[in-house]
Structure 1
Amino acid sequence: MFMTYLKERRSWILVFLLLQFLLVFIAYIDSAVSIESALYYVFLSAIIFVIFILIRYQKEMKFYKGLKEAEDLLDFSDRENLSPFEVVVAESIAHHFEALKKTVSENEHRLDEEKDELLSWIHEVKTPLTALSLMIDRLDDQSLKKEMIYEWLRIHLLLDQQLHLKRIPFMENDLFIEQTDLESVIFDEVKTLQSWCIQKGIGFDIDLKYTEVMTDAKWLAFILRQLLTNAVKYSDASDVRIKSEQRDGQIILEIADEGRGIDSRDLPRIFEKGFTSTAYHKDSAATGMGLYLASKAAQPLKLRIDVESAPGKGSTFTLIFPKNNEFLQITGM
Structure 2
Amino acid sequence: MRWIRVYVKRHRLGICMYSLFCVIFATVLFLYRMPMEPMVYAVSLCLTLAVIVLITDSVRYRKKVEILTWQLEAVKEGTEKLPGPEDEIEQLYQMLLKNAQIEHARQVGNILQEKSEMTDYFTLWTHQIKTPIAAMHLLLQQEIRLQAQEITVQEENKAQEQYYMQKQEIESELFKIEQYVEMVLQYLRLNSSVNDFVLQEYELDGIIRQAVRKYAPMFIRRKLSLHYEPLQVKAVTDEKWMTFVLEQILSNAIKYTSSGDISIRMENGCLVIEDTGIGILPEDLPRIFDKGYTGYNGRSDKKASGIGLYLVKKILNKLGHKILIESEPGKGTKVKLLF
* TM-score, length basis structure 2: 0.82
Partner of 1:126: 130
- From 264, 271, 289, the equivalent of 2:289 is 271
Partner of 2:274: 256
For residues 295-328 of structure 1, what are the alpha-carbon distances to aligned partners after superposition, in whole Å with 9 as ceiling and x for unaligned? 111112111001101111111000101xxxxxxx
Kept in 1: contact 2:275–2:334 (CA 8 A): yes
Displacement, 1:191?
1.9
Name the SS for the 2:295 alignment partner: coil
Percent of aligned pairs with the same amino acid: 26
- From 303, 314, 320, the equivalent of 1:285 is 303
Provide closer, same or farther for how the CA distance between residues 267 and 172 of structure 1 changes in structure 2, counting only shifts above 3 A. Answer: farther
Partner of 2:320: 302
Q: Report the more deviating stretch, 289-298 or 185-194.
A: 185-194
Displacement, 1:49?
3.8
State the structure with bigger RCO (CA 8 A, min sep 6), 1 or 2.
1
Provide closer, same or farther for how the CA distance between residues 218 and 60 of structure 1 changes in structure 2, counting only shifts above 3 A. Answer: closer
- From 236, 239, 245, the equivalent of 1:214 is 236
How many residue pairs match? The answer is 315
In 2, the alpha carbon distance for the partners of 1:24 and 1:318 equals 84
- From 44, 47, 52, the equivalent of 2:48 is 44
In 1, the alpha carbon distance for the partners of 2:5 and 2:185 equals 51
Provide closer, same or farther for how the CA distance between residues 47 and 14 of structure 1 changes in structure 2, counting only shifts above 3 A. Answer: closer
1:102 matched to 2:106: yes
Higher helix proportion:
2
1:228 matched to 2:246: no
Displacement, 1:255?
0.4
Provide closer, same or farther for how the CA distance between residues 74 and 39 of structure 1 changes in structure 2, counting only shifts above 3 A. Answer: closer
In 2, the alpha carbon distance for the partners of 1:30 and 1:242 equals 102
Displacement, 1:201?
1.5
Kept in 1: contact 2:298–2:304 (CA 8 A): no
Q: Give me the CA root mean square deviation.
A: 2.9
For structure 2, list consecutive stretches of 5 or more residues without a partner in the other structure. Answer: 149-162
Displacement, 1:87?
1.4
In 2, the alpha carbon distance for the partners of 1:93 and 1:317 equals 51
Greater Rg by CA: 2
Name the SS for the 2:229 alignment partner: strand
Name the SS for the 1:193 alignment partner: helix
In 2, the alpha carbon distance for the partners of 1:171 and 1:36 equals 73
Kept in 2: contact 1:149–1:196 (CA 8 A): no
Kept in 1: contact 2:204–2:231 (CA 8 A): no
Displacement, 1:153?
1.2
Provide closer, same or farther for how the CA distance between residues 320 and 5 of structure 1 changes in structure 2, counting only shifts above 3 A. Answer: same
Name the SS for the 2:118 alignment partner: helix
- From 97, 120, 125, the equivalent of 1:116 is 120
In 2, the alpha carbon distance for the partners of 1:172 and 1:120 equals 16
Kept in 2: contact 1:73–1:97 (CA 8 A): no
Displacement, 1:62?
6.3
* TM-score, length basis structure 1: 0.83
Displacement, 1:192?
1.5
1:191 matched to 2:209: no
Kept in 1: contact 2:7–2:58 (CA 8 A): no
In 2, the alpha carbon distance for the partners of 1:272 and 1:7 equals 49
Q: Report the more deviating stretch, 47-56 or 224-233.
A: 47-56
Partner of 1:331: none
For residues 203-252 of structure 1, what are the alpha-carbon distances to aligned partners after superposition, in whole Å with 9 as ceiling and x for unaligned? 2111343332222111110100110000001111211111024x3xxx42
